[in-house]
Amino acid sequence: MTSKQKQVDYKQRFAALQQRFIGTLTTKADRLCQLAKAIAQGEQSFLAEVIADSHQLSGSCGTFGQKSLGDLASGIEQTAIALQNSEPHSDRTLQLLIELTEHFQRNVASVIDTALNTPVVKQAAEQENNLIWLLLNDALLTDDLSRQLSAFGYSIEVFTDFSACCQALDAISPALIYSAVELDATAGSVFKQTDLLKAMQEKQIPWMLYSPSDDFDLRILAARHQAQAFYVSPLDIPAMLGRITELMQLKSEQKGRVCVMDDDALLAEHYALTLQAAGIECMVLAEPRQLIQDILHFQPELILMDLHMPLYSGPELAGVIRQHDALKSLPIVYLSAERDQAQQLKAMAFGADDFMTKPIDDAQLVKVVQVRLARSRELRNLIEKDSLTGLIKHSAIKEVAQLEFERAKRSGKNVSVVMLDIDHFKSVNDKYGHAIGDVVITTLATMLQQRIRRTDKAGRYGGEEFLLVLPNCGRQDAMPMLETILESFRSIVFHAAGQDFYCTFSAGVACSDADFSDAEAMLAAADERLYQAKSLGRNRVLA
């Protein structure tokens, strides 16, 4: 879940997790001392346990803000390895091991009080923001845009001068600002409004520009001031709506799904919490024998996996993952305190894509994961997304329906599917041309993307037909949502050949609670409801 979805106070959770980690250090330090003393008394088999425990601590201590303890643990690990490799065992090295474990124990005692008493700072939860500000000098265009954007569920506020907009930014930040290059000759262009530009930059507010004419110098200025889009008259409203929806989704959508597997449960939880705070959904994999089932259920876009674990190594588990055709392209990144580059490269030869050395800085972890997810998503979009609408293609959306149907059966929750078709679309193409028909299709696709939940999926099923897959959603929830989308869609004004026209759609809904044998049967039922909606006069939703 993202911070927006759960309203999570991440700072408080990080502090609580750090305190839990610190609470385990005394026991771990005492154990290292006891093992070292047992080794001195002839129990050489305990060397492997010292190496494993200190290796784990060298990675986790730095992550939890205890770098000095991590360095000490790394020294214990290297000393234990040297002792293990010496024949006969060196008394001097053995004495050094005992001294290092005792030094580690004393340092744990000295830092534990301050770490446990660190005050927790509460952080306000981030709220959803669908507010768009318009700064235009054309009243008709302003009214038209306000009506169209409102149909897409956005809240609109109109400003007539730059100074009023700048003053309003002191109190509230919109999700987006859409501005004319110039409002009037007196105020000059928006590029001369230094206070406004500075405020937008500081608050990281996306903005788009509108100009009555195309001009290269204006486009350069727009790029220089990091405007997200530049539109000229006559305004392509559907294209602009699509771009606005894209920008809003970038701000609010889930930023990816990642599985984390580490034998240090607290460290795995820390990684997950760090990524969740960045808007990335995470699942901690705790049971190796359930690995494949958990991955297929969660459908991650990336796996972070410890290299050295007690029962199975990272390369062994990566090999098991690669044995499944559906998971061959799933990126895997190893996390380990292993600093030997030869060992790192050897490990990566077994199915992994990258290697990160513990302790891992939180910012570095987030950045590496974001880059990996972005590349993975770009490749997947090239394969799965329809070029006209940006929605999932026919085959991919059917796979989503199958996956969610199986997940619903396992969990006992409902999933609904919706077959949706634009009414009288052939007449639109015949009367206004295929280019205008494409505008109608992309407008509905944009509205679907903007109105469905983040967990829902929308796909172009073919031509003017769409398929929605709605997990954890029964008929009683699907119907009002579809009725609202239909009401908004039929209020949109399309322009062509000097005329205004409107469009509607028909939709059929089917839910898994009807005990279908498989996803295909559920899709067929939704298609039958769609046919009935068409037969009853179109412009309606049937379940």
Residues 276/10, Cβ–Cβ less than 8 Å? yes
Beta-strand pair 281-284/415-422 = unpaired
Number of H helices, E strands in the chain: 20, 17
Segment 288-325, tens digit of pLDDT: 999 998 998 888 999 999 888 888 888 889 889 989 88
Spatial distance between the Cα atoms of 212 and 318, rounded to a whole number of angstroms: 57
Q: What is the pLDDT of residue 252?
A: 55
233 and 161, same structural domain? yes
pLDDT of 54 above 70:
yes
Residues 97/105, Cβ–Cβ less than 8 Å? no
- CB half-sphere exposure, 215, CA atoms < 13 A: 10
Segment 137-183, tens digit of pLDDT: 888 889 888 888 887 778 899 998 999 999 999 888 899 999 999 98
CATH number for the domain harbouring residue 7: 1.20.120.160
Tokens of 318: 């990566």
221 and 193, same structural domain? yes
CATH number for the domain harbouring residue 178: 3.40.50.2300
Band of pLDDT at residue 124, cut at 50, 70 and 90: very low
110: amino acid identity, one letter? S
Domain end, chosen from 213, 230, 252, is at 252
Evaluate the omega torsion of the peptide bond into residue 359 and state whether it is cis, within 30 degrees of 0.
Answer: yes
Spatial distance between the Cα atoms of 409 and 403, rounded to a whole number of angstroms: 10
Contacts of 339 (CB under 8 A, 6+ apart): 357
Question: Domain for residue 126, yes or no?
Answer: no
Segment 433-466, tens digit of pLDDT: 998 999 899 899 988 988 898 889 999 999 999 9
Q: What is the pLDDT of residue 6?
A: 47
Q: Sheet containing 155-159: which strands, arranged edge to edge? A: 155-159, 131-135, 176-180, 207-211, 229-232
pLDDT of 483 above 80:
yes
**3-state class (DSSP) for residue 246:** helix
DSSP 8-state symbol, 399: H
Q: What is the pLDDT of residue 9?
A: 65
pLDDT of 196 above 90:
yes
Spatial distance between the Cα atoms of 23 and 56, rounded to a whole number of angstroms: 16
In percent, the amount of the chain with pLDDT more than 70 equals 93
Band of pLDDT at residue 117, cut at 50, 70 and 90: low
Spatial distance between the Cα atoms of 138 and 158, rounded to a whole number of angstroms: 11
Domain end, chosen from 67, 91, 116, is at 116
Question: Domain for residue 65, yes or no?
Answer: yes
Counted domains in the chain: 4
pLDDT of 93 above 60:
yes
Segment 235-259, tens digit of pLDDT: 877 778 778 877 776 665 557 889 9
Question: Domain for residue 389, yes or no?
Answer: no
Whole-model pTM above 0.85? no
264 and 236, same structural domain? no
pLDDT of 121 above 50:
no
Q: What is the pLDDT of residue 335?
A: 85
Give the residue ranges of DSSP H helices in 236-361: 237-252, 265-277, 291-298, 314-322, 341-348
215 and 79, same structural domain? no
Question: Domain for residue 418, yes or no?
Answer: yes
Q: Sheet containing 541-542: which strands, arranged edge to edge? A: 457-462, 465-471, 415-422, 505-511, 541-542
Tokens of 532: 């009935």
344 and 358, same structural domain? yes
The residue count for the chain? 543
The mean pLDDT of 84-106, rounded to a whole number, is 83
Give the residue ranges of DSSP H helices in 412-453: 425-432, 434-451
Residues 310/286, Cβ–Cβ less than 8 Å? no
Spatial distance between the Cα atoms of 440 and 286, rounded to a whole number of angstroms: 48
235 and 193, same structural domain? yes
DSSP 8-state symbol, 161: S
The mean pLDDT of 373-380, rounded to a whole number, is 77
Q: In sequence order, what E strands does 322-472 have?
A: 332-336, 354-357, 415-422, 457-462, 465-471
154 and 102, same structural domain? no
CATH number for the domain harbouring residue 500: 3.30.70.270
- In 3D space, the residue among 322, 316, 321, 347 whose CA is nearest the CA of residue 334 turns out to be 347
Q: What is the pLDDT of residue 251?
A: 62
413 and 332, same structural domain? no
Q: Name the residue with higher pLDDT: 240 or 116.
A: 240
pLDDT of 4 above 50:
no
Segment 387-422, tens digit of pLDDT: 788 888 998 899 899 989 988 888 889 999 999 999
pLDDT of 85 above 80:
yes
291-298 and 314-322 are packed helices; what angle lies between their axes, rounded to 10 degrees?
60
Question: Domain for residue 123, yes or no?
Answer: no
Q: Domain limits at 529?
A: 394-542
485 and 369, same structural domain? no
Question: Domain for residue 162, yes or no?
Answer: yes
Domain end, chosen from 352, 384, 416, is at 384
The mean pLDDT of 32-39, rounded to a whole number, is 88
537 and 408, same structural domain? yes
Q: What is the pLDDT of residue 80?
A: 86
Band of pLDDT at residue 380, cut at 50, 70 and 90: confident
295 and 222, same structural domain? no
Question: Domain for residue 125, yes or no?
Answer: no
Residues 460/393, Cβ–Cβ less than 8 Å? yes
- In 3D space, the residue among 304, 306, 253, 265 whose CA is nearest the CA of residue 282 turns out to be 304
Question: Domain for residue 335, yes or no?
Answer: yes
104 and 22, same structural domain? yes
DSSP 8-state symbol, 327: G
Q: What is the pLDDT of residue 187?
A: 80
pLDDT of 214 above 90:
yes
Residues 1/22, Cβ–Cβ less than 8 Å? no
